[in-house]
Structures are given as C-alpha cells and as structure tokens.
Amino acid sequence: MIGVSGIVNRVVDKHGRDKDMLIQILLDLQSGFGWLPREVLAGVRKELGIPLTRVYQVATFYKAFSFAPRGRHRIRVCMGTACQVRGAPLIRDRVQQVLGVEPGETSPDMKFSLETVNCLGCCAMGPVMTIGDEYHGHLTISDVEKTLDKCK
Amino acid sequence: MPRINSASELEKLRQEIRKKRDPKKLSIALCSGTACLASGCESVNEAFESELSKQGLEAEIALRRTGCHGFCERGPLVVIYPEEICYTQVKPEDVPEIVQSAKEKKVIERLLYVDPVTGKKVKREPDIPFYKNQQRFVFGPNRWIDPRSIEDYLYIGGYGALSKALFEMSPDQVLEEVKKADLRGRGGGGFPAGKKWEETKSAPGETKYVIVNCDEGDPGAYMDRSLMEGNPHSVLEGLVIGAYAIGSHEGFIYVRQEYPVACTNIEWAIKQAEEYGLLGENILGSGFNFRVKVHRGAGAFVSGESSALMSAIEGKVGEPKLKYIHTAISGVKDRPSNLNNVETWANVPLIINKGSEWFRSIGSEGSKGTKIFSLVGKVNNTGLVEVPMGMTLRQIIYDIGGGIPKGKKFKGVQTGGPSGGIIPEQYLDTPIDFDELVKLGSMVGSGGMVVMDEETCMVDTARYFIDFCCEESCGKCIPCREGLRVLREILTDICEGRGKDGDIEAIEEVAEVMADASLCALGKTAANPVLTTLKYFGDEYEAHIKEKRCPAKVCSNLINYYIDPDKCEACMICLRNCPSEAIQGGKGLVHWIDQEKCTKCGICYQLCPPRFGAVVKLSGETIPAPTPGKTVVRKKGG
C-alpha cells in the first residue's frame, strides 16, 4: 500500500516537482481519486513547498476540481447555446425530477451526481447529456427516464 | 523509425509511403469524431473489424478511423473510397451489407443521403449539398487521415510546409508571407496574426514562447476540438513554422481537459513528430530546435483570454491581467509570448505551401481565407462547415444548412458566443467577415453559429448568456462582476413577469459602464447579446414587460399549457406521463389540465401525438375553463 502521501509524491515527481505544474498535478490527482480530499491538498502543499492558500486558490477557481466525493455515475447535462435552443432547460428539469437531486449534488446513496456544464462540444447532437463517458444526444423529455434507468 | 535528417530524406520517406499505397485500393473511412462516437460509431467499427476478419479481407480493404468529417447530424458516417460513396447513420447491422456491396462495387440505396429539397438520393460525398457548397482547405484533410498516424499526414503532403520554411525561407520571409496573407486570428477578435508574430519577434528577450489556444469555451462552437482531434499534426506543423519565424524554441499547447481525445491525440502527435525528427532538437537537420508541452486547462471560460491563459500555464489562477503591456512583450513568465488559436495555426502550413497570393484570393476584402463555423441549433444540417469569408448568412443557413426544421420560421442567428450577438432576418444577406458582423453588434468570435427559430424567446436567450457570464466572470473587476449580477436580476424579473418601466434604460446604462470599464474582453462584450436583442427584438421585451406575455411561449412563468377539448382524443398518453398528476379525465373522457398542479414541465406538449396536436401553449390569453366529464366522439378511422 503506498497510501495517499505516496500517490501525491509520485504525481508531483511525474511533473518534475515544478510549482508551475500545480494545475496539472491537481488534475492528475482529481482523476485518480475522483475528488480532492483535504489530505491530498495538504500533501501537494508539502511536496511543492507552497502555501496551502495557493493550493486552495487554484483548486477552487477551476471547475474540474471537486471537494466532495462524486457519485458512481456522473451525469452531465449540457447547457450550451445549441442545446439551450433545443430545449436543454426542460431536459435538466426532467433529469432533476427523475433523480431527485439538484445540479451540483450527489445522491445520498452515492449512486449518481448531477452536474450542468456549459458546453460538451457536441453541439450538433443537442440536447446532449453524458452518463460517465457515454454521450446521449438528440434527447427528448420523454427519453430521459429511459436513458437514466441504466444507472438507477 | 529512424529520424529524418534533411528535406530530401523527408521527401524520400513520403515517396516510399505513397508507393506502398494504391489510391485506387478499396478503403472504408469511418468518422470517429466525438459526435459520431456519441451516435455509436464504436460498435460500427467493431462490426467492420469482425466482418473484415470473418471474410479474410483485412489486406484487401483498408479500414480507417478518421477525425470528424463535419456532417455531425447524420453520424455515424462511412465513406467508401475511391468512389467516395457516403453512407449516413450507419448501424452495426448494416456493416456486412456495406462490405459485400463495396466488394461488388455496388451501392446500398437505403443508406444514402436524401436531399430534402429535391428528394433525390446522393451517392458521392462531395455531391451532398452540405459539402458541395463548402471550401474545406483546413478541415478537409480530416476525412482522409487517421489522426494517430503520422504516415497518413505525410501521405497527404504533411510537414512539407515546415520543410519549405526551414530550408527555402528565412524566418523573416516566413513572417512576411504570413503578414502578406493577412491571416487574422480565428479565435475571437480577428487580430492580424502576422502583426502579433512581429511584435513577439521584435520584443526584447532571448526566450520567447509560442502558444496554441485550444480552450474552446464558447458554448455552441467545437471546430477547434474537431481539428485537434482529427488533424493534430496540422496544428503542430503550423506552430513549429510560427516558432521558426518568431525565433522561439519553446511552446505550449493549452487544451481544455473536457476534450480528452484532443489531449490524447496531440500528445500522440508530439511523440511521433519527435521520433521522426520533426520536433525537438535539430529539426530535419536544419539546426532549429523547438520543444512543446501540453497543458490541460482545468475548466474556466475566462482562461481562454490570452493573459489569463498564460497565468494558467504558470500554474496560477486563470485571471486576466490589464493589457497596457501586450502579452507579445510580457506573457508567460514575463517573457514575450505569442498566442494563436487552433484554427489560426492550422492555416499557417497552407499559406506557406500555397503562398500568400493564393490565400488572399479567397475571402472578402478585409478578411482573407476560409473560416470554420459550427452550424448548430434549429437548422436541418447541423455540423462543421468551412466556407470562404464573405459568404452570406443566408447561403450558410439555407444552402449548406438546409434551412429551418419542421417548416418553422427563422428568427435569428447567434454568432460569436457570449461576446457576440443575435442577428435577425433582415440581415441574412450580410457577408460574414470580421468587420461586417461587428457592424451589426455581433462578431465572428470563434465561429459558433447557433440558429434560432420562432420558438426561441430572445429575452430568455439574453438571460441565458448573462447567466453564463455571471458564472464565468472571474470576479476580479467590479464592472463585470457586479454589472452582470444586476443584468441577471433585471432580465430574470422580465422573464418571470416582474418587468417594469425603466428596466430597459437600466440595462442600457449598466451595459455601457461594463463595456467602458471592464478589465478584459469578457466583461467588455458580455452585454452584446442583451444589446443586440434589445435592438432587433425590442418588441419582445415590451411584450414581456407590459403585457406579461412571452410571444415565443418559452418563459414558463408567462405561459400555460392547455388541452384543446375539440382536438383531444383521450389517448391517455399525456395523462399517464404527467409527473405531477395534473392531467385529469380518463379513458374516453377528454383530458384537461389542473392548472394548480401543473409544473409546466412540458412533457404533455412533447408527448401529444402530432396528428392530434391537442396540447397547446398559451401566453397572455385567458385559459378556457376545463370541461370535466366531456366524452370523446371518435372520428371514423381516427
């Protein structure tokens, strides 16, 4: 077992222990742990020799970082302009209704987290949502329940 | 692969690759861009692989997974070469038939694209109207190459421009050529790239940086993603040429982490280019050194702004800086830094290969070359289109895009993302270029083109963009941070029926202060969507404020759903699916909506069979009283 500090150490090494690589280091840790626990952030501070405030300043600025564990299924509803004009708000409301969680929340049983995002870059297929890495395009309100059934 | 040490070795290798390949050989190209992946091209690929191996045809038919072809609406796309037969919306079960017919040189009629205008089937890809009216110089090669194969890129002439620049031109000549071409930045404002290069080149300091901006944050735009995923070597080649001209030996490629395939493909391309001696020390034996690092963006719209992006590269918070000193003089680590967007860089090899004269022969007076637009929203053929600058909005939306779906009426087209504006019907014949769109209060931006029909509420759309910018404003300067908050409050009030006299004047005043006093372009331009909608769709604002009515029937506080008792056939579909049990009635009994319970989710409206069309939206009208207990008299055959 290499433990949290071992993992942090390894990731910081991979990026040459370079302070300029803070964002890249945090991205790797985020994707490894699925979120950024306190001890990970403290570990980064220690390894890079920078103030903890700087680690938090960066980590709280960017959207990729999460300070709470995410659910097993990460559901993202695209709210980009192309999806918006094709009815994304109605899709979002329906997903919220079916899952019973608000955007930004994770269900108490840790099964799914719901997020709304600005653009998934899949604009021709709008409205779009992703479940994990899977894209679901051309959604209608009546598709939502069926599509979400997979992770219920 | 041994590294290539000279221009002649590169040409020799290219000839060898070409000799190995027979252009007449049967090959199948499967589009594997993100949209096609989303439509299931992964399983189509598996089906091809297993079918080809089952029939023992792996040597006879080449299967190639390419980047995005552009016609995303119709994915997964399959093109059979050399005839260029294009099949759309291919499913795994179609694959055995495709392989069989390709072998027998036959065409499967049912998988061909049908031109909705003429009703005729179109066999060859270049004859499909969506493609026929485009000029795809930058984006075109995507469909011929596997983005993971440098050999594919070399086969189509790749790195030829780099070799020409390094051995036949001086850095100054390269710069001069790009300046003469009048290449303007494709990422937003359209600043002349050559001028920027020159400023960085002549800035004091030994170390200079060149940067690719692939932080494509504009909602509704995805051309940079598709180029980076589909043809990463073209971007890389442009970057190395730029570095040579500027005298830079170190570069960064900033890719947003939301584009994982783009990150992987560019990393892959860098590795290959290094192995082949096209990147790194002593490139092609010319003595020129250049290294490049990929920097993943962690998700912040404002970080696409040049000075903010440079802070992010330093591992800091991506906030913009005041630009009294240009980043060309003091950027990353306070050193001269030249940043251009993906599409701009991808244009560079073309200019070097074909010359500035050629480049200038395409496009309009003030904007040369082509531009890739993402044509999305309420338009029939959505996808990526590359057209010469100066083409009119009407040509793009109607000739290429095939017009508005379901016979609806065109209302406006949004260009330039949150910094742009919405252009109404009377300006559809405006030629698109950097300067013309600014005159209309909008901009080209990165090339998003979101088409809106009569069912789009312009006040709601303005609120949407302000909401977007509210969330994305970094909060560093007050005009942007507070101005947006005030605009959001006013617009939300208007959308929710609390609009009052004086609101429009307040919006205009706040917008003026934001444009004057904000620190960066995000704040300066954030009010554009509001100002253009006010200018072109002022009557909609009036209807919301004065009559509490949403003409497009979108703003949920101002609309009601209603079932027309004369049209309802009591089919029970809406009644069963209503999540709030607001629909009353029953079998054989006309349905009606209990307005107290209705949450206006719109499910009944979407589910009511179009042949009945009984569920309607009302705004500003009195809702007729329900008729509980009314029975349905079924029409014969109905």
* Chain A positions in Cβ-Cβ contact with residue B384 (cut-off 8 Å): 124
Owning domain of residue A134: 73-149
Domain membership of residue A83 (yes or no) is yes
- Return the CATH number of the domain spanning residue range B158-359: 3.40.50.11540
Q: Are A58 and B317 in contact (CB < 8 Å)?
A: yes
Q: Does A131 touch chain B (CB under 8 A)?
A: no
* pLDDT score for B635: 58
| Domain contains A22 | yes
Q: What is the pLDDT of residue B636?
A: 52
Q: pLDDT tens, A58-109?
A: 999 999 999 999 899 999 999 999 999 999 998 999 899 889 999 999 999 9
**Rounded to an integer, what distance in angstroms lies between the CA atom of residue B295 and that of residue B290?**
16
Do A78 and A55 fall within a single domain? no
**pLDDT tens, A31-67?**
999 999 999 999 999 999 999 999 999 999 999 999 9
In this complex, which of B216, B298, B417 lies closest to A64 when CB atoms are compared?
Answer: B298
- The pLDDT score that the predictor gives to residue B205 is 94
Please tell me whether the overall predicted TM-score, pTM, comes out greater than 0.90 for this model. yes
Q: What is the DSSP letter of A146?
A: H
Same domain? For A88 and A36 the reply is no
- For B558, phi then psi, to 5°, come to -105, 5
Residue of A nearest to B76 (CA): A125
Say which of B38, B451, B464 has its CB closest to residue A125. Answer: B38
Rounded to the nearest angstrom, the minimum Cα separation between B527 and chain A is 16
- Residues in chain A closer than 8 A to B607 (CB atoms): 141-142
Residue A55 touches partner B, C-beta closer than 8 Å: no
What gap in Å lies between CA B605 and CA A112, rounded to an integer?
Answer: 29
- Judgement on whether residues A28 and A84 belong to the same structural domain of the protein: no
In eight-state DSSP terms, residue A139 is -
A42 and A103 in a single domain? The answer is no
Contact A97 B579 (CB under 8 A): yes
For B:221-280, CB contacts with A below 8 A are 221-222, 225, 257-259
Number of domains chain A is built from: 2
Residue among B293, B292, B312, B294 nearest B302 (CA): B312
Domain assignment present for A50: yes
SS3 B214: strand
Q: Does A11 touch chain B (CB under 8 A)?
A: no
Task: Cite the DSSP H helix spans in B303-370.
Answer: 306-313, 342-360
- Are residues A88 and B450 in contact, defined by beta-carbon separation less than 8 angstroms? no
Instruction: Determine, for residues A137 and B39 on separate chains, whether the beta-carbon distance falls below 8 Å.
Output: yes
Q: Kindly report whether the peptide bond that precedes residue B82 is cis, defined as omega within 30 degrees of 0.
A: yes
CA distances to B36, B88, B131, B345, B381 from B77, rounded to whole Å, are 7, 5, 13, 27, 14
Report CA torsion sign: A56, A58, A61, A66.
negative
A56: nearest CA partner in chain B: B317
Question: Tokens for A20?
Answer: 């300029």
What is the reported pLDDT for B57? 92
| CA-based nearest distance A113→chain B, Å | 17
CB atoms within 10 A of CB B621: 12
Q: How far is A20 from chain B (nearest CA, A)?
A: 4
Interface size, chain A vs chain B, as Cβ–Cβ contacts under 8 Å: 150
Same domain, residue pair A128 and A82:
yes
Give, in order, the Cα–Cα distances in Å from B221 to each of B376, B411, B421: 9, 20, 14
CA terminus-to-terminus distance, chain B? 71
Does the distance separating the beta carbons of A119 and B299 come in below 8 Å? no
Q: Which residues of B417-437 are buried (b: 16+ CB within 10 A; e: fewer)?
A: bbbbbbbbeebbebbbbbebb
Side-chain half-sphere CA neighbours of A75 within 13 A = 29
Mean pLDDT by 10 residues, chain B (638 residues): 91 96 92 89 95 93 94 93 95 96 94 89 94 95 95 96 98 98 92 97 96 92 94 98 98 94 96 97 97 94 92 94 88 96 97 97 95 95 95 96 93 94 96 94 92 96 95 93 97 96 96 94 94 96 96 95 94 91 92 93 90 94 87 62
Contact A22 B301 (CB under 8 A): no
Interchain CB distance below 8 Å, A124 and B220: no
Closest Cβ opposite residue A62 in set B39, B299, B377: B299
Instruction: Please determine, looking at this structure, whether the domain spanning B20-130 carries the CATH number 3.30.70.1060.
Output: no
Q: Chain B partners of A136 at a C-beta cutoff of 8 Å?
A: 38
Q: What is the CATH number of the domain that holds A140?
A: 3.40.30.10
Element (H, E) at A26: helix A22-33
Same fold, B20-130 and B370-453: no
Of A57, A82, A117, the CB nearest to B450: A82
Same domain for A80 and A29: no
Whether B612 and B568 have beta carbons less than 8 Å apart is answered as yes
Tokens of A13: 């090494």
Q: From the list A19, A85, A93, which residue is nearest B378 (CB)? A: A85
B475 contact A CB<8A: no
Note whether residue A67 is domain-resident.
Answer: no
Q: Is A85 on the interface with B (CB under 8 A)?
A: yes
Domain at B458-546, CATH class: mainly alpha
Mutate to test the interface with B, among A35, A61, A95, A123 (most CBs of B within 10 A): A123
| ipTM field | 0.93
CATH dotted code for B370-453: 3.10.20.600
Whether A141 and A91 map to the same domain: the answer is yes
Which residues of chain B have a CB within 8 Å of the CB of A18?
315
Distance from CA of A100 to the nearest CA of B (A): 12
Q: Where are the domains of chain B?
A: 20-130, 158-359, 370-453, 458-546, 559-618
What pLDDT score was predicted for residue B428? 96
Pick from A20, A93, A123: CB nearest B220: A123
Give the single-character DSSP code of B614. Answer: -
Q: Which pLDDT score is estimated for B629?
A: 82
Q: Amino acid identity of B613?
A: G
- Whether A85 maps to a domain, the answer reads yes
Whether B38 and A62 lie within 8 Å, measured CB to CB: no
Q: What pLDDT, on a 0 to 100 scale, did the predictor assign at position B638?
A: 41
User: In terms of domains, do A139 and A86 share one?
Assistant: yes
The class level of CATH for B559-618 reads alpha beta
To the nearest whole Å, the CA of A3 is away from the closest chain B CA by: 25
> B10, B4 in Cβ contact below 8 A?
yes
Question: Are the C-beta atoms of B30 and B78 separated by less than 8 Å?
Answer: yes
Could B414 and A81 be called an inter-chain contact, meaning their C-beta atoms sit closer than 8 Å? Answer: yes
Give the C-alpha separation, B217 to A119, whole Å: 7
**A27, A118, A124 member nearest B298 (Cβ):** A27
The interaxial angle of helices B232-246 and B193-202, nearest 10 deg, is: 50
Both structure tokens of B465? 């963009």
Residues A139, A89 share a domain: yes
CB contact under 8 A, B258 and A142: no
